[in-house]
Amino acid sequence: MENDPVNVNEFQELARQALPKMYYDYISGGAEDQFTLKENMEAFQRIMLRPRVLVDVSKIDMSTTLLGYNMSSPIMVAPTGAQKLAHPDGELATAKAAAACNTIMVLSFASSYTIEEVASTCNAVRFFQLYVYKRRDVSAKLVQQAESNGFRAIVVTVDTPRLGRREADIKNNLIIPKMKNLEGLLSLDVNVKGGSNLEAFASETLDPSLSWKDIGWLKSITNLPILMKGILTAEDAMKAVEAGVSGIVVSNHGARQLDYAPATISVLEEVVKAVSGAVPVLLDGGVRRGTDVFKALALGAKAVMIGRPVVYGLAAKGEYGARRVIEMLQNELELTMALAGCPSIKDITRSHVCTKQDMLRSLM
């Protein structure tokens, strides 16, 4: 298309221009001072690449697998809710874009469209993201619906005993559309006197008593593999492995929960070392360039998830925009691999990056 954006940041600017301020702030914003929001991206910029030369890179193979499922590249679509705020086709368009790029989409429980509607868009591998509610029967029903509609894994979010303080949403008196997957399961009417209705809904439904024992309950109600999203420390990573999960997503919820939590890329290696290959580790948060993907892979990630960038593409240009964002990052990763001397994903190693800690150690 004429005047297409040439990078993800340009898609973000188009999204800002296209959306009402309330919706753009909801999609782009973080918690409190938004320190972690900025740090998620800036931490990538402190990692340098160490390219190898005179390597045959005439053919670049970005393909990989996750839980036995093939992907054209290690770039997945993260769960982001209420995508109809960005575009009328919402998650239906995103599902088609992910399938066209031969990658895995993780559908948010807060999708603007039902599990069944998204499943019927096209044949593709999809995972389902879950919150565990005070009413366990609601969570169980969602798991059953996902399983019966061909979703291949459950991604349970574990960093939200309460909703983070998202001040832009409070100031904007954010009104989130009703969550179609929860209709008939939970009361979606909340009384709000100013502030965000999402915050009010979360306080009524999320379970602050959720603990490690509940992972056992979740495993007991499904045959699907379970990935745990929201891990930021070695200690919790080891507990997750002990709990029997099939994968870990290093995530700070897009910096929307606990401000001043670390950038995900800065703790990725700690988590990877803690699990010692027992389960795949994914990275979520701050990815805006193919070089970011490369850095995450070099530090041990099996794949990365992208959330906001896809929604920016969706807001700017619908399904085409969402697909272009994924393709753009895939193309940037392919170029980075060629310039770094890595013809395949397995050729990307820890020696291809230099972190701030590496630099400090070299001075000692």
- The DSSP result for 40-56, as a single string, is HHHHHHTPEE----S--
Task: Calculate mean pLDDT across residues 153-173.
Answer: 94
In a domain, 2, yes or no: no
Q: Tens digits of per-residue pLDDT, 73-95? A: 999 999 999 999 999 999 999 99
Alpha helices (H) in the chain, listed in sequence order: 8-18, 21-28, 35-45, 90-100, 115-119, 136-148, 167-171, 197-205, 213-220, 234-243, 264-275, 290-298, 308-340, 356-363
- Active-site residue 253, yes or no? yes
At residue 69, the 3 state secondary structure works out as: strand
pLDDT at 140: 95
Task: Calculate mean pLDDT across residues 101-121.
Answer: 96
pLDDT at 273: 98
In a domain, 1, yes or no: no
pLDDT at 120: 96
Residue 1 has pLDDT above 60, yes or no: no
- Name the percent of the chain lying above pLDDT 70: 96
Q: What is the mean pLDDT of the chain?
A: 94
pLDDT at 188: 59
Q: Are the CB atoms for 290 and 331 separated by under 8 Å? A: yes
Q: Which residue has the higher pLDDT, 108 or 192?
A: 108
Claim: this prediction has a pTM higher than 0.85: yes
In a domain, 245, yes or no: yes
Q: Which two tokens stand for residue 336?
A: 């980075």
Parent domain of 192? 8-363
- Residue 237: count of CB within 10 angstroms of its CB: 26
Task: Calculate mean pLDDT across residues 16-27.
Answer: 96
pLDDT at 270: 98
Q: Tens digits of per-residue pLDDT, 174-198? A: 887 778 888 878 765 656 566 667 7
Binding site for FMN: what residues are annotated? 79-81, 108, 129, 157, 229, 251, 284-288, 307-308
Q: Tens digits of per-residue pLDDT, 283-315? A: 999 999 999 999 999 999 999 999 999 999 999
In a domain, 172, yes or no: yes
pLDDT at 361: 81
Check which CATH number belongs to the domain holding 167 and give it. Answer: 3.20.20.70
Instruction: Spot the catalytic one: 253, 295, 302, 323.
Output: 253
Q: Which residue has the higher pLDDT, 68 or 362?
A: 68
Q: Which residue has the higher pLDDT, 206 or 87?
A: 87
At residue 102, the 3 state secondary structure works out as: coil
In a domain, 322, yes or no: yes
pLDDT at 363: 80
d(CA 304, CA 292): 9
pLDDT at 199: 73
DSSP annotation of 210 reads -
In a domain, 25, yes or no: yes
Q: Based on the structure, what is the number of domains in the chain?
A: 1
In a domain, 35, yes or no: yes
Binding site for glyoxylate: what residues are annotated? 26, 131, 166, 253, 256
In a domain, 3, yes or no: no
